[in-house]
Amino acid sequence: MFGLFCRPGLMIQFKSPFRTSSRSTVYWIVAVSFLVVIMYYCVFKHKDNTKELGFLENVKNFLLKTKQRDKQYLANEKSYLEEKAKNLKILCYAMTIMANIKTKAVAVNNTWGTRCTKLVFITPEPSSSLHTLQVDVQEGRSHLTDKTVKTLKVLYRTYKNDFDWFYKCDDDVFIVMENLRHLLAKHESRVPVYIGHQFRVRTKQGYLSGGAGYAINRRALEMINAEGFDVPGRCDVSGKDEDLDIGRCFAKIGVKIYSTVDTQGRQSFHPFGFQRAFYGHEGGEVYYVSRPYEMGPGCCSEFTVSYHYVTPEEMYLIEFLLYHTQIYGRHSTAKDKEIFTDKEAVIADKAPNEVLLTPRYIWHYLYRYSVFE
């Protein structure tokens, strides 16, 4: 027996784990072996993910390399945003709940939402402080697909001839609207376009993150209603995996996913937030991405469009840093006009980066992943 003395006269006793039956001994051996495997994967197999000094060195090298490029920006401010991009009519519809109206929704309305052609918040009830679009659906994650399907039906009936693009997002995302316009301007209106951050699992062409937001043009909106929702049994119209269900529906009606990766291979939509993109994703998250990612400055396009998981406080901070501070003499160059392409998105043949073998990763692998349809 082992004893732990807390004060004179008091002793708490417990049994030794080593004086057990043979069956318990086997359990202990299995448990210890499993922990050794976990430590191997976390410490040795994936040691590159924990090299903080190496990571900081990469950041330092990036900053030194860009100093020379910054010298080329010393000229008068000039905008290269094309006329087509300026004139695009974009309706932004943000999914929210009544409990978030005075916090998250208000922050969106006061910051990046002002740069949409029109911004509406999708709610079950009207609000006196915001422009809302009422959709008769029960609140909660279990009804997200139902909410999105009904929203797309209302948008089609009400706004199909008034806007070129329809951008869906959550109420905790920050959108750089100028960069979104620049990206969307690459695409023709006659071709149905479904564009955002591509996830690799569950469908052959993948599907787009609903949290970081995705855009569809007028032609895609028309097709998903006429050829998807209006055809009984073709598309799921209820459930909790809204982005997956919408992605499957677009795949069934032949609407392609288009790339949001810039010409240097950097992502412009960040569904897991900026810090995760910059410092590295968790295991379960990495398993979803459609192409290998790079930690550090190479993670993110300098013309980033979307950051997910932004608090209201952070939203105001980002707004201030992007739109109310300036670097004297710095401006875009003509080559930045070609930072995006109009290519379809593809899932990389190369497997995603090796991931930490964490309980969360195991959960995603066993219960969330399914084979291609």
- Residue 46 — pLDDT band, cuts 50, 70, 90? very low
Query: What's the angle, vertex CA 202, arms to CA 196 and CA 203, rounded to 5?
Result: 65
Nearest to 187 by CA among 217, 210, 211: 217
pLDDT of residue 184: 95
pLDDT at residue number 356: 46
49 pLDDT higher than 60: no
Token reading at 233: 């049994």
pLDDT at 56: 52
Has residue 148 got a pLDDT over 60? yes
Q: Summarize the confidence of residues 247-262 as an average pLDDT.
A: 93
pLDDT at 367 (0 to 100): 43
Backbone phi and psi for residue 366, each to the nearest 5 degrees, phi listed first: -80, -35
Residue 177, SS3 per DSSP: helix
Q: Can you give the pLDDT at residue 63?
A: 52
181 three-class SS: helix
Check: CB of residue 188 under 8 Å from CB of residue 88. Answer: no
pLDDT band for 355, please (50, 70, 90 cuts): very low
Mean pLDDT computed over 363-369: 44
Q: Among 56-70, 89-103, 150-164, which stretch is predicted with the lowest mean pLDDT?
A: 56-70
pLDDT of 140 reads 84
Task: Give the integer Cα–Cα distance in Å for 212 and 216.
Answer: 14
Q: How far is CA 280 from the centre of its chain?
A: 14
Q: According to the model, what pLDDT value does residue 249 have?
A: 95
Select the more confidently predicted residue: 107 or 364: 107
Is the pLDDT at 101 greater than 90? The verdict is yes
Distance CA 294, CA 197 (A): 15
Looking at residues 187-215, what average pLDDT do you find? Answer: 88
Identify the bridge partners of residue 199 per DSSP, sorted by sequence position.
207, 289
Look at residue 276 and tell me whether its pLDDT is greater than 70. Answer: yes
> Does residue 362 contact residue 287 with C-beta atoms inside 8 Å?
no
Please give the average per-residue pLDDT across 223-248, as a whole number.
93
> What secondary structure, in 3-state letters, does 308-327 show?
CCCCHHHHHHHHHHHHCCCC
Give the percent of the chain with pLDDT over 90: 43
φ, ψ for residue 217, nearest 5 deg: -90, 180
Return the closest-CA partner of residue 258 out of 182, 193, 209, 172.
Answer: 193
Mean pLDDT of 252-269: 91
Tens of pLDDT, residue by residue over 299-340, are 888 899 999 999 999 999 999 999 888 777 666 666 667 777
User: Please, are residues 208 and 198 in contact by the beta-carbon 8 Å criterion?
Assistant: yes
pLDDT for 112 beyond 70: yes
Which positions ≥6 away from 31 have C-beta within 8 Å? none
Structure tokens at 295: 């930690």
pLDDT at 100 (0 to 100): 95
Given a cut of 70, is residue 206 above it in pLDDT? Answer: yes
Longest dimension (CA), the chain: 85
The pLDDT of residue 126 is above 60: yes
Tell me how crowded residue 303 is: count the other CB atoms within 10 A of its CB: 18
182: closest CA among 330, 307, 301? Answer: 301
pLDDT the model gives residue 172: 96
For tokens 């869906």, the residue is 168
pLDDT value of residue 169: 95
pLDDT category at 39 given cuts 50, 70, 90 is low
**Is the Cα torsion angle 277, 282, 288, 291 positive or negative in sign?**
positive
* Number of other residues whose CB lies within 10 A of the CB of residue 48: 12
Q: Tell me, what's the pLDDT at 180?
A: 96
Look up residue 370 and give its two tokens: 């399914």
Q: Say if residues 306 and 174 touch (Cβ distance below 8 Å).
A: yes
Mean pLDDT of 41-48: 45
Question: What's at 329, amino acid-wise?
Answer: G
User: Degrees (nearest 5) of the Cα angle 327, 329, 335?
Assistant: 100
Q: If you search the block for the tokens 């010409």, which residue do you land on?
A: 263
* Of 9-23, 223-237, 342-356, highest mean pLDDT: 223-237
Q: What domains are defined for the chain? A: 83-324+340-368 (3.90.550)
| Token code pair at residue 246 | 């919408």
Instruction: Label residue 37 by pLDDT band (50, 70, 90).
Output: low
Residue 359 host element (H or E):
helix 359-363
**pLDDT average, residue stretch 130-154:** 92
- E strand or H helix at 198: strand 198-199
